[in-house]
């Protein structure tokens, strides 16, 4: 629906089809962030990236945001004397954006419970493993070390536990005999860049319904 300024005419918001406000949190290179930015600029996601928040000054995700004219807030973890103070500042920065959706795109810290509860059902994460296998750091290394034949990525909602929230999408890739961590990571990342924008698209179309541990795609 097009916006209209005519008196008494319903606008986007009134029709419930306003673009979703997306805030991205990233700590590093930001290739998943870029995949989402690309999908947004192609118009395949009904949303707007209103801000990138990063805990790492100078990370490459910030360059990507600047290039796409996405406003940036840096909440530098090292500038705070405690995790709790950092989390308060981060929560404040997030709330200021009034997000419909918070996307963790290589955000390498565990979100505190206050933040998770403040945005219940509105925070997504991508993890480079088929959860619940290999949560935590170095998932691809864990997969190689365990000798699995199939690996992949998982997009999930975030709950109070690490890498444990309801699963939205998963995509698998083979683990080949000569794989090392880098080769497997690259193969998984290729799928991440397809999965994550698609999950964000579904959210922005109100097509994800959480029922207990199950996420239904409508």
Min dist. Cβ of residue 104 to ligand GAR (A): 7
CB proximity list for 204: less than 8 A, separation 6 or greater: 19, 20, 22, 45, 46, 47, 100, 101
The CB-of-54 to ligand GAR minimum distance in angstroms stands at 11
32 vs 73 by CB, closer to ligand GAR: 32
Closer of 18 and 171 to ligand GAR (Cβ) = 171
Based on the residue annotation, tell me whether 127 is a catalytic residue of this protein.
Answer: yes
- Provide the phi-psi class of 30: left if phi over 0, else alpha when psi is between -120 and 50, else beta: left
Which residue from 75, 175, 190, 62 is spatially nearest to 126, judged by alpha carbons? 190
Say which residues have a Cβ less than 8 Å from residue 48's Cβ, sequence separation at least 6.
Answer: 19, 20, 21, 22, 40
Identify which of residues 18 and 135 has a Cβ nearer to ligand GAR in the complex: 135
The Cα 130–Cα 173 span in angstroms is: 10
The residue number whose beta carbon is nearest to ligand GAR equals 106
Selecting among 46, 120, 127, 193, the annotated active-site residue is 127
Which parts of this chain interact with ligand GAR (CB under 6 A)? 26, 28-32, 105-106, 126-128, 139, 189, 192
Q: Write the CA distances from 144 to 133, 152, 162, 188, 209, integer angstroms.
A: 12, 12, 21, 13, 33
As measured in angstroms, the least distance from the Cβ of 114 to ligand GAR is: 20
169 and 154 in contact (C-beta within 8 Å)? Answer: yes
Least Å from the CB of residue 31 to ligand GAR: 3
> In whole angstroms, how close is the CB of 4 to ligand GAR at the nearest point?
39
Give whichever of 17 and 132 is closer to ligand GAR, judged by the CB atom.
Answer: 132
| Residue number, 67 or 92, with CB nearest to ligand GAR | 67
Helix, strand, or coil (residue 169): strand
Residues annotated as part of the active site:
127
């Amino acid at each position: 629906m097009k916006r209209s300024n005519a008196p008494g005419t319903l606008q986007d918001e009134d029709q419930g089809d306003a673009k979703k406000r997306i805030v991205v949190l990233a700590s590093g290179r930001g290739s998943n962030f870029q995949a989402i930015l690309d999908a947004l600029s192609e118009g395949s996601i009904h949303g707007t990236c209103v801000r990138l928040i990063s805990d790492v000054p100078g990370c490459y995700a910030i360059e990507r945001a600047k290039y796409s004219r996405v406003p940036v807030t840096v909440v530098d973890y090292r500038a705070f004397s405690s995790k709790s103070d950092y989390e308060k500042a981060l929560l404040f920065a997030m709330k200021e954006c009034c997000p419909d959706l918070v996307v963790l795109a290589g955000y390498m810290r565990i979100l505190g419970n206050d933040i998770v509860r403040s945005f219940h059902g509105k925070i997504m994460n991508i993890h480079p493993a088929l959860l619940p296998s290999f949560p935590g750091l170095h998932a691809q290394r864990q997969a190689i070390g365990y000798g699995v034949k199939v690996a992949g990525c998982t997009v999930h909602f975030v709950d109070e536990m690490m890498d444990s929230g309801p699963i939205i999408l998963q995509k698998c890739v083979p683990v080949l005999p000569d794989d090392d961590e880098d080769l497997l990571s690259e193969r998984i990342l290729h799928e991440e860049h397809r999965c994550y924008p698609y999950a964000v698209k579904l959210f922005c179309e109100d097509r994800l319904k959480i029922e207990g541990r199950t996420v239904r795609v409508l």
